């Protein structure tokens, strides 16, 4: 084990002009491999079930580098959506499973690299001191072998938080919830909207989490945010007033898909109307993989926002809860 190792890349990588479109891919690959100087070469991994401590962490380092270079989190969001939209539910595996370590399908990349880096991004969103704690983790395990259990205990001590629920749900377990969401606008004189979140049947069971529900008026208007539970049975009343747009978990704090009901109510205002149509029209041509993806804007569920989605909204005009 040591802090340095050779990085072998094709000669063609170095011939790409820095302002070329392909240069972004080169930066991502190179920053990932530099990440391995710390995660695998310095902090060792030997168990088949712990491969994500190498690949997921190196990819997280690459996303942080990308964020510093371009000033946005597009790389991290792209990894998130590549896992969520790309993985087959029947083939999905827990991050720290031996089966993932020997899997030779593309599932291994989607889970170990993409989900692995996204899990760390979610911890960073939750805890302000996460990156500093991660630096101390590298110092503490330099020249040693790390495990997921040791990582959890170390972060719990550094952050002062109980992470058993997070690790148990997103690292030791496969899958994520698909959330069917219905909204009802406030009644006269009431400042509360009603929202109902239903988890669709899932071979990996039910998930538990509190996520943000962001309500806003038209662009430039007031924005409010409250927390809602994804595992609460029945409607939840939320004090968001006459919000014309609702966004569930806008920061991708958990793995999930949001499926409005009816599907044409893409902004979850409680009724399919012209604003839904404008939102889908503005997103025309967007297709996965795309860091700006929003599954609510794809009522046909084909991972492409096109005329078919516009037709789906028009056909449901006036529908609501």
What is the rounded CA–CA span in Å between residue 101 and residue 50? 8
Q: Which position has the higher pLDDT, 81 or 239?
A: 81
Q: At what angle do helices 116-126 and 74-86 cross, to 10 degrees?
A: 130
Question: Which residues 6+ apart lie within 8 Å of 62 measured at CB?
Answer: 28, 31, 32, 35, 75, 117
Q: pLDDT tens digit string along 287-316?
A: 988 999 999 999 999 999 999 999 999 999
321/308 Cα distance (integer angstroms): 23
Q: What is the rounded average pLDDT for all residues in the chain? A: 91
CA 159 – CA 26 distance, rounded (Å)? 34
pLDDT in tens, 66-118: 999 888 899 999 999 999 999 999 999 999 999 998 988 999 999 999 999 99
Structure tokens at 199: 């988890």
The pLDDT-based confidence of 19 (bands split at 50, 70, 90) is: confident
State the pLDDT at residue 299. 96
| Range with the largest mean pLDDT of 104-108, 157-161, 211-215 | 157-161
Task: Tell me what pLDDT residue 291 has.
Answer: 92
Between these two residues, 238 and 21, which has the higher pLDDT value? 238
Which DSSP string do the residues of 10-41 spell out, in sequence order? -GGGGGS-TTSTTHHHHHHHHHHHHHTTTBTT
**Beta-strand (E) ranges in the chain?**
178-184, 193-199, 210-216, 223-229, 236-238, 245-248, 257-260
Confidence class of residue 3 from pLDDT cuts 50, 70 and 90? low
Q: Among candidates 64, 162, 5, which has minimal Cα distance to 56?
A: 64
For the cut 80, the answer to whether the pLDDT of residue 21 exceeds it is: no
Distance CA 163, CA 127 (A): 11
Separation of alpha carbons 321 and 183, rounded Å: 7
**Could you name the CATH architecture of 11-170?**
Orthogonal Bundle (1.10)
**φ and ψ at 166, to 5 degrees?**
-65, -50
Of the listed ranges 84-93, 134-143, 239-248, the one predicted with least confidence: 239-248
Residue extents of the structural domains in the chain: 11-170, 178-315
How confident is the model over 121-143, as a mean pLDDT?
A: 97
More confident residue, 184 or 139: 139
Is the whole model's pTM more than 0.75, yes or no? yes
């Amino acid at each position: 084990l040591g802090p340095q190792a050779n990085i072998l890349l094709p000669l063609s990588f170095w011939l790409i002009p820095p302002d070329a479109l392909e240069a972004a891919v080169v930066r991502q690959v190179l920053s990932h491999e530099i990440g391995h100087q710390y995660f695998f070469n310095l902090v060792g991994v030997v168990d088949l079930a712990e491969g994500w401590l190498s690949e997921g962490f190196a990819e997280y380092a690459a996303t942080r580098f990308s964020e510093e270079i371009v000033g946005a989190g597009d790389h991290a969001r792209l990894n998130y959506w590549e896992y969520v939209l790309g993985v087959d539910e029947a083939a999905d595996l827990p991050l720290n499973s031996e089966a993932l370590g020997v899997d030779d399908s593309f599932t291994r990349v989607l889970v170990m690299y993409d989900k692995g880096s996204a899990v760390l991004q979610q911890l960073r969103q939750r805890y302000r001191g996460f990156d500093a704690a991660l630096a101390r983790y590298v110092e503490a395990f330099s020249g040693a072998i790390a495990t997921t259990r040791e990582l959890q205990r170390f972060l719990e001590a550094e952050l002062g938080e109980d992470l058993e629920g997070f690790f148990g749900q997103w690292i030791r377990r496969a899958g994520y919830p698909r959330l069917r969401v219905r909204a009802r606008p406030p009644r006269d004189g009431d400042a509360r909207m009603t929202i109902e979140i239903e988890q669709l049947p899932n071979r990996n069971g039910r998930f538990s989490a509190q996520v943000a529900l962001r309500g806003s008026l038209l662009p430039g208007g007031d924005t409010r945010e409250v927390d809602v539970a994804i595992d609460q049975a029945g409607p939840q009343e939320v004090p968001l007033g006459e919000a014309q747009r609702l966004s569930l978990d806008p920061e991708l704090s958990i793995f999930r898909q949001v499926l409005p009901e009816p599907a044409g109510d893409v902004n979850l205002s409680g009724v399919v109307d012209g604003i839904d149509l404008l939102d889908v029209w503005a997103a025309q041509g967007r297709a996965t993989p795309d860091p700006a993806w929003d599954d609510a804007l794809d009522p046909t569920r084909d991972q492409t926002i096109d005329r078919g989605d516009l037709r789906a909204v028009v056909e449901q005009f006036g529908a609501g809860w």
